[in-house]
Structure 1
């Protein structure tokens, strides 16, 4: 059955700044998971100047502080559920304030990161939601994350879905996937790896191309959990994570399946090509958004104007795609910003594989099903249930 709509919501823009528009749509779509509220988000949007970093930071952080203060008073009065609800949304807004924040030396970077984590964990404690903070041993430090025990597990051990976030959002933003998993009797684990979320902002860990050395310790940790069936562990990579996870399983075949959302075989080459054009523009005339994105890539990859292109070109799975033996689901969207990349990756795979395209009729056609998380989880989780 197809719809008769001539216009599609993915053409609508809250903001002409592509990154800010995407982040706003992401936050709007967290409402079903009680992580945002429409009036609050619209209130923030009303106070943002397009491509203006400081107005972005101030608007989101002011709303976050307002809710955190409200939650504190609720908790003091013994209203645990109300406190949990406000803490959860405050956590979201603290994180979003940092998603368009280019000065990593600014003390607010660590302050807001810690506030986000504290609010999120306090919300879990007060609400009784089946999740807990974890620290995954990693080299000489750890990776911060959360483990979610499904309350619907029938056996002593249950399957596990590991969720790997992308370049801009954080592990806690993948709740739409983890919540859907635990409702189906599947435990879930998510974490911030190098270059992501808390690991970047509180530990200064930068992205690395050899992601098998990141996901490997996570699998080790997962296999040590009493609740997990070691033979039924899968991983889903979101956005940039959708590139990193296939890289990891090319060198580590312990997972039963992976999901690449969306598929991309040469992510680094694609981004490097775009940034090369930006670097040729004099800094004084570069659009604010492009200048911000350039600085953001350099920061997260530990690079400079002179080294960022070479660094990004290391993120290319073309030569190792034949090493992937793990069953793979490649996701795609008709409004994907990386149009054509997912199908190219799918066609190159020689392992057991499936391809899933979200078109305009699904309303989940944007990058990583953004704006269509409910629809996305229905189809994705159906596939997981059939393959776990």
Structure 2
């Protein structure tokens, strides 16, 4: 394709970014958002809400996040990182000055919050792989989290599991209830950009309060494995989950007949995929469900750019996407989405990223998912619009589809901001599924 044609497509792409980032009305309920906006930048609003949503389960304090939010310039990735780094540093210093022997709960609470804020400081930095903060901030968040975790009534325990083919290791945290006898157990993974530490605050603590053991883990492409082993995502997520199931059933406090598997965000593809191949899993959660990840990404591009991709013209596709990402006026969701995709998939070009993404679909395995599966959806879903319903329809009667709404305060992707409501719905369903299986 000639240069002037490529530049013309870039102009079209940039004009279409706002509309492409928003699902069309045939894939999204047109109800307006009922929630107060924390930033004029829609993606910054979401990420601020995301860290605030950890507050009910010891992962944040709302006032602290709002103070940081006031210092952030819409669309400015550095200002977002700096605001949360300053907050994390202050809270971490406060935590370290608490006598944890005398005041273990206070120390734990502050350390968990500091860990969350360090993760937020890292979030928008992945466009520059050589940025040393990608590792230094992560080391700080791990240190704060692990110090806090040691102060739990039943301390969490980290282990590294070997994948069956030996190509990577799987970092795991076991959170036990401390109750006697074998207990139901939830295995949890995050998605495209989130950590296992975040999962503890999103729903792990809520599960423990209900007497359910929690095992969080990360696989290729996710924070610890991407950083420590330099491995990007793999579509065959059963290679990650089956060793975690093996690990779980070795523990006498785990009821091997009551193991649930939860995938969050992009994990809404990963968990169902693994469940199709491991029948030891009694129940599955896809929050929110993803049926065809690659096509959901391509959907957000203008038709002309899709045609460039399918033609195999990698140079033109890359030049258009790279120019859009470098343009400050491009929507945050598009700039960050491409940068994070290339980083987490461990590829150097947008064309490679999109090509790999197309392998992440459940079209050939959905009918193999025989376990009961909870498929969450969000009324204002902006990352994977329409995907949860497609997954539920493909699975059929085993699936329970639940749309969380804007009026519930749960309409954002993965019902961010409504963690108490979400935990209630998901964990009640899990307990009911296990009760029915025992009848």
The residue correspondences of 1:197-212 to structure 2 (distance < 5 A) are 197-212=223-238
The residue number in structure 2 matching 1:145 is: 172
3-state secondary structure, aligned to 1:75: coil
Q: CA contact under 8 A between 1:164 and 1:237: conserved in structure 2? A: yes
Deviation at 1:382, TM superposition (A): 0.9
The residue number in structure 2 matching 1:64 is: 88
The residue correspondences of 1:316-335 to structure 2 (distance < 5 A) are 316-335=361-380
Deviation at 1:140, TM superposition (A): 4.7
Residue in structure 1 matching 2:42, options 15, 18, 22: 18
3-state secondary structure, aligned to 1:232: strand
In 1, Cα distance between the equivalents of 2:85 and 2:137? 8
**1:299 has 2:314 as partner:** no
Change (3 A) 1:317 1:141: closer
The residue number in structure 2 matching 1:158 is: 183
Comparing 362-371 with 130-139, which one deviates more in the overlay?
Answer: 130-139
The residue correspondences of 1:363-382 to structure 2 (distance < 5 A) are 363-382=409-428
Once the two structures are superposed, residues 247-302 of structure 1 have per-residue CA deviations (whole angstroms, 9 ceiling, x without a partner) of 11222222011011112211221113335568545445461622332122111112
In 1, Cα distance between the equivalents of 2:118 and 2:92? 10
3-state secondary structure, aligned to 2:93: helix
The residue number in structure 1 matching 2:298 is: 272
Residue correspondences, number: 380
Change (3 A) 1:257 1:79: closer
Larger relative contact order, structure 1 or 2 (CA cutoff 8 Å, min sep 6): 2
The residue number in structure 1 matching 2:240 is: 214
The residue number in structure 2 matching 1:228 is: 254
Q: CA contact under 8 A between 1:131 and 1:146: conserved in structure 2? A: yes
Unpaired segments ≥5 residues, structure 2: 1-30, 307-316, 435-439
The residue number in structure 1 matching 2:99 is: 75
Deviation at 1:129, TM superposition (A): 4.8
The residue number in structure 1 matching 2:208 is: 182
**1:173 has 2:198 as partner:** yes
Q: CA contact under 8 A between 1:234 and 1:257: conserved in structure 2? A: yes
Once the two structures are superposed, residues 181-212 of structure 1 have per-residue CA deviations (whole angstroms, 9 ceiling, x without a partner) of 11222111111221112222233221111111
In 2, Cα distance between the equivalents of 1:352 and 1:150? 29
Deviation at 1:145, TM superposition (A): 2.9
**1:357 has 2:403 as partner:** yes
Deviation at 1:158, TM superposition (A): 1.0
State the TM-score, normalizing by the size of structure 2: 0.81
Residue in structure 1 matching 2:64, options 31, 40, 50: 40
Deviation at 1:213, TM superposition (A): 0.9
Deviation at 1:47, TM superposition (A): 1.3
Q: CA contact under 8 A between 2:232 and 2:346: conserved in structure 1? A: yes
Once the two structures are superposed, residues 144-176 of structure 1 have per-residue CA deviations (whole angstroms, 9 ceiling, x without a partner) of 23211124x4x5211111111111221111223
The residue number in structure 1 matching 2:330 is: 287
Deviation at 1:351, TM superposition (A): 5.7
Q: CA contact under 8 A between 2:154 and 2:177: conserved in structure 1? A: no
Residue in structure 2 matching 1:261, options 287, 300, 303: 287
Change (3 A) 1:81 1:328: closer
Comparing 281-290 with 247-256, which one deviates more in the overlay?
Answer: 281-290
In 2, Cα distance between the equivalents of 1:27 and 1:350? 34
The residue number in structure 1 matching 2:156 is: 131
Superposed CA RMSD in Å reads 2.2
In 2, Cα distance between the equivalents of 1:56 and 1:202? 25
Comparing 272-281 with 178-187, which one deviates more in the overlay?
Answer: 272-281
Q: CA contact under 8 A between 1:326 and 1:351: conserved in structure 2? A: no
3-state secondary structure, aligned to 1:9: coil
